[in-house]
Amino acid sequence: MAAVQLSSQSRVGENLATCAELCAAAATRGAKLVVLPENFAFMGPESERSSHAEVLGDFDAPIQRALASLARRHSVFVVGGGMPERSENAERPFNTSIVIDPSGALVGSYRKIHLFDVDLVDGTTLRESASTTSGGAPAVVRIADFSVGLSICYDMRFPELYRALVRLGAEILLAPSAFTLHTGKDHWHVLLRARAIESQCYVVAAAQWGKHPLGRTTYGHALVADPWGTVIAECSDGRGFALATIDAGRLTSVRASLPSLEHRRL
């Protein structure tokens, strides 16, 4: 499994070309699932997101066509970790994670529930709800031999979502993100390891890194954590991917040795 780290900008074609390069490299290294971060195709002005919104399942549209092509070419599952999906409000598309199987078919999707509206002490102001429609339901999809729970970035601060995903059978949790530098340096590793420990799941967090239009800076450190909360693969600065093996035996061992999921009372 590869958690990709990008530095996406405002040109969709260039971003998709970078995705293609890293997907090919990850497949060459043995990845069977490639997870792209939030905003992998477009990370420009929020006011322009709607112009790139696609109808889910439209493989003539450029973003979905590109991901389906990558999946077929490399015989891998590809997760587009957050892209604009057309909604009933033309100015506020969904932020949607999509799962494409090795045949190029859409086999799962999730619309981001928790939207990032904050005024940070470093002067950064973000209002995701101004240009995005919130989703409303958790989603688990079968990928190879595993049940995989989908989430996006800010969702990771809401453990009740991950508890719902575990109740739906999740064994792997995906958290593709564009985490700000200001919050990421203090919270990224803590939150992801906590989600892994409490859910007794692998957590795969693709990430954006570096500087983006309008002064936005993201933290990076794409990583994979195992069900014990140990980070088993992580990116440094720059574009790349964190590659790790998902081990069903490790998952079973952790859940058997400390059966906290069986001890839930609320």
**Interacting residues of 85 by C-beta distance below 8 A, sequence separation 6+:** 53, 54, 55, 56, 93, 94, 95, 96, 109, 111
The torsion of the CA quartet 102, 108, 63, 210, rounded to 10 degrees, works out to -100
Evaluate whether 37 touches 70 at the Cβ level (below 8 Å).
no
- 193: phi then psi, degrees, rounded to nearest 5: -65, -35
- 206: phi then psi, degrees, rounded to nearest 5: -70, 160
Which residues sit opposite 95 in a β-bridge? 84
Pairing of strands 140-143, 146-150: antiparallel
- Tell me which amino acid residue 2 is: A
Question: Which positions are catalytic?
Answer: 38, 112, 153
CB-count burial class (<10 Å; 0-12, 13-18, 19+) for 208: buried
